Structure 1
Amino acid sequence: MPLLAAAKTEFAASQPFAGHRIGMSLHLEPKTAVLLEVLAAGGAEIVATGNHGSTQDDIVAFLREQGMTVHGRRDDTIDEHHANVAAVIAARPTILLDNGADLAAGIVEAGLAETVVGGTEETTSGGVRLRRELAGSVPFPIIVINDSMLKAVGENRHGVGQSVVESIMRITNLMIPGRRFVVAGYGWCGRGIAQYLRAFGGKVAVAEIDELKMFEAALDGYRVAPLADLADWGEVFVTATGFPDIVTPDIIDRLPGGAVLANAGHFPWEIDTAALYASASAVTTLDAAIEQVDLPDGRSIVLLAEGRMVNLAGREPKGNSLEAMDLGFLLQSLSLERVATAASTLDAGAQPVPDDIERTIARRFLTAIGADR
């Protein structure tokens, strides 16, 4: 990860995070460990937890050996995960590195907002939450990394697109060519998932409710229709909207037997797994991250990763590519540096990555990949 390696050298010299405690809630996997090493080299004290179901225990052990305070394990229950987030909040971080706005919401609820100088938010879901549920209640700046065009194209479209398709192949061992896929959501992640599925020979339809995104998907050559109209056509369904209640009981009732359900969004709320389990006559674990849910009418639905993020699930999960996360985590690093050193120049609440940071990283990435060769 050459971009982060260079940032680590710069931060070791400039110490932008000296005196700061960075509280993090983000998927704990090898590439995240590199990011935390970069921040620690810049003088930060790290208190962190992972996201539910995606934590890699060997990475937790490694980070603890580096002197970082890290909460969580892969098989934590949802209540234990919430306790881990609460422990990060209780440590009174001065800077937040958030995913899904869990830390921001907890800091505000705990009355600790005045102790925070600012932070970053990684995801679409967290950006939506900050601008809706938490609108007007966060008095410090939060740079939404997901607003970045670099992240949209480099990490979401190509990183998530590639890793979701790789994960479905790895977990299920199913053939992509000729199979019918429905991608719910045509944001940057949905665009990438559809693109990579089609590149492997899949037949792809897009379910959207936004007319402009429907227009784009149609001109990109996909079948476009409401999810309810595609439910009996698709064989594999991938949600990538960032919003709850996409695959509802009504949609589940229309699915063909053998349909596979996978979620690429941050929160495990896009597929109504509670309703699916409640209606089941039997649930059988077939392998890591694969469940067969038998329904009373004789159909069986295959659910991946219990509706959690599929690209960090199953055996030997890899997540997004090294290059995509080198790009994305440099966005995190330089945005956190801006928060630490110039928070007064930023507005309170959610905001995009500053343009000068975006352009600096674009130049560095082009050099790193040898784009002129």
Structure 2
Amino acid sequence: MPEYWVSDINKAEEGVAQLEWAERNMPVLMSLRKKYSDEKPLRGAKIAACLHVTKETGVLVRTLKAWGAEVYLAASNPLSTQDDIAAALATEGVCVFAKKGESEKEYFWAIEKVASIHPDIVIDDGADLHSLLHEKHPEMLNKIKGGAEETTTGVVRLRALEKEKKLGYPVFAVNDAMTKQMFDNRYGTGQSTIDGLLRATNILISGKTIVVAGYGWVGRGIAARARGMGAEVIITEVDPVKALEAVMDGYRVMKMEEAAKIGDVFITATGDKDVITWKHMEKMKDGAILANSGHFNVEVSVKDLEENSISSRELRRYMKEYKMKNGKVLYLLAEGRLLNLVAAEGHPSEVMDMSFANQALIAKKVWTEPRLEPKVYKVPLDIDQNIAMLKLKSMGIEIDELTPEQKEYLDSWKLD
């Protein structure tokens, strides 16, 4: 048995059943696993991964192991681990260090355990593992052949490292792949955030005013799903182009200070801190609900809630009621952490199929090809398009192909 740290190893049987269900709904990743299992393209590679420990992540980990890798896994959020999955992976030879409800100390201890293996490949979601390696283990950086980053927040952090010329190994921005961003961020987060909102509150969305902070792919997805269920949706933005897009998409756009007065539910999706602070909270309706779908718990100021309340209590699982000094009551969901992964199960397997196919193929590329210069790289277009074609094939959909004459026409500058 490998070394592991999980909540209850006896939950492994439940986890195996969940993994089988996810595999049934992840045909792209499963076809890739089968294609390369005999070849073992990751033979000899030690992979350190910091990801949400969900059934979909479990399918990725099983694939990396089937390709010959040794995998060490920590959670990328203290509350997102599915304990049955962690237990199942531990029984299958994965060194997994993850429990739902980790303290901050335990969270970083687990990431340190994964970092300490002197990895060859680093797969991260949020860049906590990448950051820890750069801050605490600079001696390891030259050995690391490359890495990947799953989410917008992590890519921002890595580009900051690159800008300061401190990035120690090449990293592929998996988040920015079209088959990740357009589907995982938009359709996956849109559906799973609403799922988390409903599980935490059981409110009727129809007729509510829902304020979505941020109109990137995640914000677009949440806004579309909320509107589709009958909500009036307001968008807040700092980017004029995205704000204009939201207007053209038919949403009301205004400053958060104005939206605060009329919103029933507030969902942040910006990747930045202090999106909702006391200056907004004090203007909110009695009974307003606050939630976050950004990676870190910094978008809604929990500190401001606590400092301006006279009491608080857990009213429902993943819902905390704050009685404010101004006489109003506000509700915070999932401790201000990722609503979709804390109160629900994260993204549906069908979209994570494409995201994790990107992760697997990037790991293969990193390990089998010469080491690149330490930079943040885009996922190659051929990988993106191959994943899209595999997904279409799994859905029984065929598309047209360009004829040689059409290709020649598109490549030509001549008038005829």
Partner of 1:113: 141
Q: Contact between 2:115 and 2:129, CA under 8 Å: does it hold in 1?
A: yes
Matched, 1:209 2:238: yes
Q: Contact between 2:260 and 2:283, CA under 8 Å: does it hold in 1?
A: yes
Name the SS of the counterpart of 1:241 in structure 2: coil
For 1:200 and 1:372, the matched residues in 2 are separated by 31
For 1:220 and 1:294, the matched residues in 2 are separated by 37
State the one-letter code of the partner of 1:335.
I
Q: Contact between 1:15 and 1:43, CA under 8 Å: does it hold in 2?
A: yes
Q: CA 1:114/1:347 → structure 2, altered by over 3 Å: closer, same or farther? A: closer
Partner of 1:270: 299
For 1:137 and 1:306, the matched residues in 2 are separated by 33
Partner of 1:3: 28
Partner of 2:56: 31
Name the SS of the counterpart of 2:193 in structure 1: helix
Identity %: 37
What is the number of residues matched between the two proteins? 370
Q: Contact between 1:11 and 1:39, CA under 8 Å: does it hold in 2?
A: no
Instruction: Find 1:90's aligned residue among 116, 120, 139.
Output: 116
State the one-letter code of the partner of 2:88.
F
Name the SS of the counterpart of 1:254 in structure 2: coil
Name the SS of the counterpart of 1:64 in structure 2: helix
Name the SS of the counterpart of 2:37 in structure 1: helix
State the one-letter code of the partner of 1:73.
K
Matched, 1:326 2:353: yes
Q: Contact between 2:53 and 2:98, CA under 8 Å: does it hold in 1?
A: no
- C-alpha displacement at 1:133, in angstroms? 4.7
For 2:375 and 2:168, the matched residues in 1 are separated by 6
TM-score (norm 1): 0.97
Alignment of 1:79-228 (within 5 A): 79-109=105-135, 110-111=137-138, 112-133=140-161, 135=163, 136-228=165-257
Q: Contact between 2:272 and 2:298, CA under 8 Å: does it hold in 1?
A: yes
Q: Contact between 1:53 and 1:74, CA under 8 Å: does it hold in 2?
A: yes
State the one-letter code of the partner of 2:386.
T
For 1:95 and 1:329, the matched residues in 2 are separated by 15
For 1:285 and 1:134, the matched residues in 2 are separated by 42
Q: CA 1:348/1:77 → structure 2, altered by over 3 Å: closer, same or farther? A: same
For 1:22 and 1:200, the matched residues in 2 are separated by 41
Give unpaired runs (5+ residues) of structure 1.
Answer: none
For 1:94 and 1:249, the matched residues in 2 are separated by 45
The superposition leaves residues 287-338 of structure 1 with CA deviations (integer Å, 9 ceiling, x where unpaired) of 2111001111111111000000000123xx2211111011111111111111
Partner of 1:367: 393
State the one-letter code of the partner of 1:53.
L
Partner of 1:15: 40
The superposition leaves residues 257-277 of structure 1 with CA deviations (integer Å, 9 ceiling, x where unpaired) of 111011001111111112211
Q: Contact between 1:141 and 1:343, CA under 8 Å: does it hold in 2?
A: no
The superposition leaves residues 209-265 of structure 1 with CA deviations (integer Å, 9 ceiling, x where unpaired) of 100001100000000011112111111000001111111221122221111011001
Instruction: Find 1:301's aligned residue among 330, 341, 346.
Output: 330
Give unpaired runs (5+ residues) of structure 2.
Answer: 1-25, 400-416
- C-alpha displacement at 1:134, in angstroms? 5.5
Which stretches of structure 1, 4 residues or more, deviate above 6 A after TM superposition?
none
Q: Contact between 2:282 and 2:326, CA under 8 Å: does it hold in 1?
A: no
Matched, 1:336 2:357: no
Partner of 1:251: 280
- C-alpha displacement at 1:92, in angstroms? 1.3
State the one-letter code of the partner of 1:5.
M
Q: Contact between 1:98 and 1:120, CA under 8 Å: does it hold in 2?
A: yes
- C-alpha displacement at 1:79, in angstroms? 1.2
For 2:395 and 2:327, the matched residues in 1 are separated by 52
- C-alpha displacement at 1:372, in angstroms? 4.2
For 1:358 and 1:152, the matched residues in 2 are separated by 11
Larger Rg: 2
Instruction: Find 1:73's aligned residue among 99, 108, 132.
Output: 99
Name the SS of the counterpart of 2:73 in structure 1: strand
For 1:12 and 1:348, the matched residues in 2 are separated by 29
